[in-house]
Amino acid sequence: MSNANVAFVLNAHLPFVRHPEYPRFLEEDWLFESISESYLPLLRMLNRLKEEGLSFQLTISFSPPLIAMLTDNALQNRFVHYLQQHIELGQKEVQRCKDEQPQFLEMAQHYLDGYIRNLHEYEDLYRMNILDGFKALEQSGHLELITTAATHAYLPLYEEYPQAINAQIELGVQSFLTTFGHPPKGFWLPECGYYPGLEEHLKYHGIKWFQVASQSMLLSPDKATYGGYRPVRCPNGVAAFPRDYQATSLVWSNTTGYPTDNVYREFYRDIGYDLSMNYIRPYIHEPEVRVFTGYKYWAITGDTDQKVPYVRAQAMERVKEHAKNFHYVVNNRNHRLRATMGGAQPLFFLGFDAELFGHWWYEGIDWLEEVIRTSKDRTKLVTPSSFLAEDATPLQTVRPAFSSWGQGGYSAAWLDGSNTEYYRHIHKAITRMEELATRFPDQTSLKQRFLNQAAREVLLAMSSDWPFIIYCRTSVEYAKKRIEGHLKNVNLVYDDMCKNAVDTEWLVKAEKRHTIFGDIDYNIFNSERI
Amino acid sequence: MILINIDSLSTNELQHIAQMEGLKGWKTLDRDELISALEDWFEEMDEGGIPVGNGHGTYGRYTNNLTNHRGKAAHFKDLPRTGELPPSYYDSTIHLLLRDPQWAYAYWSLPETIQGNKTSFDDEDHSGESYVIRVHQTELATGTTTSSDIAVEVKDQEWNIHLPALGCSYSVELCRLHPDGNEEVVARSASVETYLPYWADRIEELAMDRDLFLLHFSSLVTKTGEVAENVVLKDLALTVSKGVLS
């Protein structure tokens, strides 16, 4: 029996959050939690497997905002401080658990060891730039690295603005090229958001493949002969890989997915909330804002607050069972599919947010490692590019349907009653930027910097994160401040440029605050340029 | 605020959330009362209930479950001279965004919305005029176009437009109706298209053939029989499974 072809594709993305104007800023913890709990442990795991000589291939998309933050000196230094603080807390926790809660001692020590290892690797091995670690894994043939939209914009809501779509893709490709030294073959569509025709922009920038939501094949106006089990070619030749909803749900579902198993670690119970303010105060945010510290000792247990202590060994046993189950499910389906596909090879395309592994699902990286370790003679891990290169069956030409992986399968999450009000302003900001780029092409000096900053602000306003956060009601205040702030900044540049003026005070402060896309050229918004 | 798995939050954390949200009397509430009060609070805020609720249901991206620590703590300051966003802009435009194949969202701007009927920037008195959104539906297969009007008021700036059929192109016009019976198209949107899935009128074929079902539907159904969340897909699933899948 032939092994199932499985493509794991991880989307590593966080919104651009950088506030050096404050000694410590709450939302910067999103980045630090992700590096500490997902990216560094993922690198560690992949390097371990590589050193052991295991054969595997994964795909990771790094968004330009994440790349900008991972390579930002101020944030790098703050991350070191974050780790040092967590090490100090861990040392206190080990002592406290010895004295008061010995049942948690093992985990306290485990977390402490993890932070110490993170600090060592971050400073000494990667010299504060973990992207070098991923680049090395790409060079050794274990990873395919790809890009995504410049600020992870949900593209279907900008279909009417081809110049903005082009800017999102072009800067995504440029950011990748600058970071990794070669153009990307693949493009992660933010939120799997696809509209018919988007592939034309992707092709223009040399993209060979992108991913789409599961339902985009069944709802296509064409008959996709192999349903969602093989990539297709769009009419312009770019390949589209449908995400396998069923296989993805084995992990992704928050009702039945592996991460919901009761023996796994509970994400929400954290000493940042559970211990006394006097004890925890130095490790939370001022004045007394409780935060997650990463020290979590309880198992999911069930829908109850009567949690049982987390037992690492028990969780690791369950990881093995879940990895085995994963292989069984995909290979069982692979066997049945091959009988109906007339010799064509099925492909199971699994796309996830990278931060799911480690940060959210604490055992997720262990599970991925176990899946890779036990894949020999069972499951073939491929990348979309390697599949396209090796597969002998020609791809069928199919037009994927408009779709996303969001709630409802379309644009509802990003165009909800809670966030619709912003689109009139974002769209206006785009048209104003286009107008500025056309009226004032090829400026130099201050005006060039002023217009470049406006272009940054437009792109940052387009990020899919802000409307989604507002929709989910997680960090609403911050998301609103960000989106409104960027839009106000665009309006200021527009008004000033119309008066042939440049506000240098504003410009210096804005450049200092939003350092992303240091080499941006605002002419990217000039519709006469392409 | 974090609402996923609200049942599994500690009492301390619930108290913290209640405090951050400014719920009165949070100190005196026990755990169950806190959960209940928070659920009521968020329902009241949204009128639609908690979208994630008790850790169940689907959730698009895990990234956005990242910690919200802040509550109502202070936020960063705007850059100098940035002012406020205007409620609308001084132009006459209308835009149509496709939310899903059954609904689109239209927003528009009119100078008189900002300035009021009698002080419009063109110095004309617009009181006595009325407005409609004219929805044009063109069948892609036949080119047949039908139109319908939605009456709106001068203060309105947005509308959710129902799209009755797949396989059609839709566009909207913003029309000003003058007291003398004349009408004027103030703005016209770009069109949006909805496509008829190949399987829409061949669904029986899928239902009768196990291999076809395996190829085309199985990747969209979880191991517990839940179909990927999608309004068009759900209709197909109900038909193809004769009600077994939902």
Give a yes or no: residue A453 inside a domain: yes
Q: Measured between alpha carbons, how far apart are the two ends of chain B, in Å?
A: 31
Q: Is residue A378 part of a domain?
A: yes
CB contact under 8 A, A218 and B216: yes
pLDDT at B62 over 70: no
Residues A520, A442, single domain; the answer is: yes
**In the block, residue with structure tokens 């070191």:** A80
Average pLDDT over residues A133-151: 98
For residue A326, being part of any structural domain is answered with no
Comparing C-alpha atoms, which of B143, B148, B156 is closest to residue B173? Answer: B148
**Is the per-residue pLDDT at B4 higher than 50?**
no
Q: Are residues A245 and A368 in the same domain?
A: yes
Strand partners, A337: none
* CATH number for A507: 1.20.1430.10
Asked if residues A492 and B88 have their Cβ atoms less than 8 Å apart, the reply is no
Question: How would residue B128 be classed by pLDDT, with cut points 50, 70 and 90?
Answer: confident
Give the chain B residue whose CA is nearest to the CA of A406: B60
Nearest to A461 by CA among A425, A497, A509: A425
Q: Is the pLDDT of residue B137 over 90?
A: yes
Residue A212 contacts residue A230 (beta carbons within 8 Å): no
Type of residue found at A509: K
Domains detected in chain B: 6-65 (no CATH), 93-194 (2.60.40.10), 203-240 (no CATH)
Task: Decide which of B238 and A282 is more confident.
Answer: A282
Q: Which residue of B has its CA nearest to A216?
A: B197
pLDDT higher than 80, residue A343: yes
DSSP state string for B157-190: -EEEEE---SSEEEEEEEEEEPTTS-EEEEEEPP
Are residue A469 and residue A439 in the same domain, yes or no? yes
In terms of domains, do A27 and A113 share one?
no
Q: What is the chain A residue with the closest CA to B48?
A: A417
Query: Same domain for A521 and A457?
Result: yes
| DSSP symbol at A259 | G
Amino acid found at A127: R
Residue among B241, B229, B231, B165 nearest B203 (CA): B241
Q: Per-residue confidence at A473, pLDDT binned at 50, 70, 90?
A: confident
The number of CA neighbours under 13 Å toward the Cβ of A41 is 26
- Return the pLDDT at B242: 65
Report the alpha-carbon distance of residue A230 to residue A224 in Å, rounded.
9
- For residue A457, is it within any domain? yes
Mean pLDDT, rounded, for A373-383: 94
Cα gap B79→B83, rounded to integer Å = 9
The pLDDT value recorded for residue B35 is 81
User: What is the chain B residue with the closest CA to A503?
Assistant: B81
Give alpha helix (H) positions in chain B.
Answer: 11-21, 31-46, 111-115, 203-208, 210-216, 231-240
Closest CB to B79 among A305, A474, A489: A489
Is residue A530 included in any domain, yes or no? no
Cβ <8 Å between A336 and B88: no
Please tell me whether residues A8 and A141 are part of one structural domain: yes
Task: Looking at the structure, tell me whether residues A427 and A288 fall in a common domain.
Answer: no
| Total domains present in chain A | 3
Cα A324 to chain centroid distance, Å, stands at: 26
> What is the pLDDT at residue B48?
37
Distance (Å) from the alpha carbon of A171 to chain B's nearest alpha carbon: 22
Per-residue pLDDT at A34: 96
Round the average pLDDT of chain B to a whole number and report it: 78
pLDDT at B244: 56
Structure confidence at residue A305 (pLDDT): 80
Least confident of A66-70, A210-214, B89-93: B89-93
Cβ contact (<8 Å) for B54 and A253?
no
A182 has a pLDDT exceeding 90: yes
A285/B69 touch (CB, cutoff 8 Å), yes or no: yes
State how far the Cα of A321 lies from the Cα of A304, in Å rounded to an integer: 25
Is this complex's ipTM strictly greater than 0.90?
yes
Q: Which of B56, B99, B101 sits opposite A415 (nearest CB)?
A: B99
| Pairwise CA distance, residues B35 & A412, whole Å | 28
Which candidate from B8, B52, B63 shows the least CB-CB separation from A304?
A: B8
* CATH number assigned to the domain comprising residue A10: 3.20.110.10
Residues of B numbered 95-154 whose beta carbons fall under 8 angstroms of chain A's beta carbons: which are they? 95, 97-101, 105, 107, 109
Picking from A385, A408, A431, the residue at the C-terminal end of a domain is: A408
**Domain range for A206:** 4-71+131-265+347-408
CB contact under 8 A, B70 and A247: no
**Does B53 have pLDDT greater than 60?**
no
Cis peptide before A287 (omega within 30 of 0): yes
The answer to whether A65 touches A463, Cβ cutoff 8 Å, is yes
Q: Which residues contact A174 (CB under 8 A, 6 or more apart)?
A: A519
Q: How high is the pLDDT of residue B96?
A: 98
Pair B159, B133: CB distance under 8 Å: yes
Residues A382 and A436 in one domain: no
What angle, rounded to 10 degrees, do the helices at A476-498 and A421-439 form? 30
Measured between CA atoms, the residue of chain A closest to residue B78 is: A485
For residues B8 and B55, the answer to whether their CB atoms sit within 8 Å is yes
Q: Would you place residue B224 in the very low, low, confident or very high pLDDT band (cuts 50, 70, 90)?
A: confident
For A41-77, give the DSSP string.
Answer: HHHHHHHHHHHTT----EEEEE-HHHHHHHT-HHHHH
pLDDT range class, residue A257, cuts 50, 70, 90: very high
Q: Is the pLDDT at A177 greater than 50, yes or no?
A: yes
Residue B159, pLDDT above cutoff 50: yes
Q: Residue B80 and residue A30: Cβ atoms within 8 Å?
A: no
pLDDT at B7 (0 to 100):
65
Within a domain: residue A499?
Answer: yes
Which residues of chain A have a CB within 8 Å of the CB of B63? 13-14, 353, 355-356, 465
Report yes or no on A316 lying in a domain: no
Q: In this complex, how many residue pairs, one in chain A and one in chain B, have their CB atoms less than 8 Å apart?
A: 302
* Final residue before a domain boundary, out of A408, A433, A460: A408
Q: Say yes or no: A231 and A363 in one domain.
A: yes
Nearest to B62 among A355, A420, A485 (CB): A355
Does B193 sit within 8 Å of A196, measured CB to CB? yes
Assign A480 to helix, strand or coil: helix
In a domain, A252, yes or no: yes
Work out the pLDDT band at A321, boundaries 50, 70, 90: very high
Closest-CA residue to B42 (of B8, B73, B14): B14
pLDDT at B206 > cutoff 50: yes
Q: Among A408, A429, A457, which residue terminates a domain? A: A408
Judge whether A379 and A54 are in contact, CB under 8 Å: no
Closest CA to B93 of A30, A143, A160, A352: A160
Mean pLDDT of B212-225: 86
**Mean pLDDT on A467-487:** 91
Say which amino acid occupies B238: L
- Pair (A366, A289) in one structural domain: no
Same-domain status, A136 and A115? no
Q: What is the mean pLDDT of chain A?
A: 95
Please say if the pLDDT value at position B238 is more than 90: no
Q: Looking at the structure, do residues A351 and A485 belong to the same domain, yes or no? A: no
In this structure, the number of other CB atoms found within 10 A of the CB of residue A140 comes to 11
Tokens 């839709």 locate to B170
Reported as a pLDDT band with limits 50, 70 and 90, residue B50 is: very low
